[in-house]
Every structure is written in structure tokens, then in C-alpha cells.
Amino acid sequence: MLHIVNKSPAERNALESCLRVVQEGGAILLIEDAVYAATRGNAAENHLRDALSRFKVYALTPDLEARGMGDRVMAGVTTVDYGGFVDLVAEHKNCQSWL
Amino acid sequence: MKFAVTINEGPYQHQASDSAYLFCRAALEKGHEIRRVFFYNDGVNNASSLTEPPLDDRNIVARWSKLAEEHKLDLVVCVAAALRRGIRDENLASGFRISGLGQLVEAGIEADRLVTFGD
Amino acid sequence: MSEGTVKKFMFVNRKAPYGTIYALESLEVVLITAAFDQDVSLVFMDDGIFQLKKGQQTKGIENKNFSPTYRALDGYDIEKLYVEAEALAARGLTEDDLLVDVTVMSRVELGKLMDEMDVVLSF
């Protein structure tokens, strides 16, 4: 299952909630303000690093670049463009947006 | 693959409509079908023909209309949500149609994937 | 075309009522989905649990109290209401504080259930 998160971890608990329920084999895609969670030195970094050992984590490149964070992505996070976003939705049986 | 998309936020205030638009465009470029785009909650404001952004900004409403025309997209605005927010046939942008919530459920049933964009 | 197809729809409610319209408009979709004879599950986690709090009195904010609708879901054959145990405890609430019968589940169980769905909707 693909979990799509669009909130900064400093603003809302969407990523935290998502991480509570995501199952083995699941994938997490960070878009919009959630891309901050995938950057080095952010307060949620350890939280996400822990997740990286269990799930695939993706971040949307255009959203990272728009926010000046394109060069600060944590190791282990895979960056994708909108085409990659589409592929991820297609590859997984279902998806949930953690609004 | 058949996709359906739901948009729950209005234009400009939130990135949801932008993200959804770019997602739809990428899906179409990859040869997927967009079965329906459903506008709900404040998302119905994406259909207002009265929208007039500054010239140096993207025109979110017109962009949807154009994508709908080029790809024969079915852009559906929820009637109950629209009436609540003053969107009606008189100010409905081209390419959109107003219909019931059943259209969202139907899209969920008929599409292979339903993706929600919101706040 | 969609006639006869029954999909598993899950509605994930994570927002409190009244502060925003999401809870109410989500409920409207739930009712329509049931009218399409789909397999409907509702999940309440995070602040979404507050939607089910007993004793809501909305007169003072001049807003419609839609909480009785949750009690009417039964009549639409919507019986799968799940509440995240951890989120319930984190709000100082117990099952007795909720206005409708629910199944309290751990987050792991909820995650498994979510994985099995065809369509997951969140507002």
C-alpha cells in the first residue's frame, strides 16, 4: 500500500500517524510540505531514519526543489518526479492520503 | 490503468489542486486514463469561472478547463458542496459539470486507483 | 458498468468536528457509498475520534449537530466502525464516551485492515 503524506512533520501529525499504521511492504511518498521530513537535520530525521529501515520512502523532487531543499535529502530516501508518483500509485494495490 | 482523482481544497490557498493537476498530466503522458476528477469540500472553488489571478500567476481554473478539453476529462463538481459555496451553473468554468456525490463513489468503483489531494 | 461491483471502501476520519467541515462532508460521502451497496468501513483515529464523543451540544455555536447521524449508520447497513485504541487513550477517552458501538483496534490491526481495502478515502 502507498501512503501519501503532504504535511510538514513540525506542523501536523500526519507523518506520525502514517508511520503508526504502515505495514511491512508498504511505501511512503512525501509530497508538498511533507518533503521537509526527508531533509537532513530536521527534527523528524531520526523518526524517518527508523522508518527507512522498514519501508521504502520517496520524496517528490519538484516539491523539494521548489522549497530550496533539493540538495538536502537524507540518504536512503528515493526522489521521484510526477511520473514517478504516477508509477508508485500504479504499482501499489491501493493508496491513502494522510490529509 | 484507470485513475480517478479527488480534490478537496480550493485553488491558490493550498497546493492540492496544483499537485492533482500535475499528477493527472503525468498520468496522461504515460498513457493512463483519468476516469474522473471529482471536486469536493472547498475543492469546488476550482470550478469558478469568476477566478481571475494576476497575469504572472498560473490560471488554475483555466488550466483544468484546457486539460479537460484536450483529453476529454470528466471534471465533476459535487452539487451539495458547490451550492454551499456559491458555485452554480451560472459561474461554472468550461469543462466542468455539477453532479451528485454518487459520481465520486462510482469513480471509486470503476477506477483502478483513486488518489485524494487535500489539506 | 459499475453495477454489481462491490469494493471495500474505507473512510479514514482524523479530524475533529465543527472546527472544519471535513467530518460532516465525509459523513455525506459515507452515506452515498452505502447507497451504492459497497462494503463500507469507517476508521476513527487521531482527532477524528472526537466526532463520536457523546453529548455534543452545538446550539451555542449555531451549527448543526450532526453526531446523531453516526447512530443512524446502522440503518444504512454500516456496521464496521473502528477506533484506534492508542488514539482513544491519548485523548483521555474510553469506549463509554462514544455515542455509538465501535470496535477498538490497535494501530497494527488497523494498518492490516487498511491494506486490505480497495479504496481508502480521507477528507
Could you tell me the pTM of the whole model?
A: 0.97
- On chain C, the residues whose CB falls within 8 A of the CB of A51 are none
Flag whether pLDDT at A19 surpasses 90: yes
pLDDT by residue for chain B (119 residues), tens digit each?
999 999 999 999 999 999 999 999 999 999 999 999 999 999 999 999 999 999 999 999 999 999 999 999 999 999 999 999 999 999 999 999 999 999 999 999 999 999 999 99
Instruction: Tell if the CB–CB gap between A62 and B22 is shorter than 8 Å.
Output: yes
Pairwise CB contact (< 8 Å): A32 & B3: no
List the domain range (segments joined by +) for residue A12: 2-98
Structural contact between residues C36 and C69, judged by C-beta atoms closer than 8 angstroms? no
pLDDT for B30: 98
- Please, which pLDDT band fits residue A63 given cuts at 50, 70 and 90? very high
Q: Residue A99: closest CA among chain B residues belongs to which residue?
A: B119
The catalytic residue positions of B are 78
Q: Is the pLDDT of residue C19 over 90?
A: yes
Would you kindly state where each structural domain of chain B is located, as residue ranges? 2-117
CATH number at residue A63: 3.40.1260.10
Q: What is the pLDDT of residue C4?
A: 85
> Would you say residue C2 has pLDDT above 60?
no
Give the number of other CB atoms < 10 A from CB of residue A11.
Answer: 10
How long a stretch of residues is chain C? 123
Domain C8-122 has CATH 3.40.1260.10: yes
Q: What is the CATH code for B2-117?
A: 3.40.1260.10
* Amino acid in the structure at residue C42: L
C60-116 pLDDT, tens digit per residue, is: 999 999 999 999 999 999 999 999 999 999 999 999 999 999 999 999 999 999 999
The Cα C11–Cα C31 span in angstroms is 11
- B26 touching A (Cβ < 8 Å): yes
* Cell output for C12: 479514514
Domain parsing of chain C, residue ranges? 8-122
Residue C85: which of C107, C68, C64 has the closest Cα?
Answer: C107
**Residues of A near B (CB-CB distance < 8 A)?**
4, 6, 31-33, 62, 81-83, 85-87, 89-90, 94-95, 97, 99
Neighbour-count burial of A41, counting CB atoms closer than 10 A to its CB (0-12 exposed, 13-18 middle, 19+ buried)? exposed
Burial profile C82-92: b = 16 or more Cβ within 10 angstroms, e = fewer: bbbbbbbeeee
Model ipTM over 0.95: yes
Contact C119 B114 (CB under 8 A): yes
Position C122 pLDDT exceeds 90:
yes
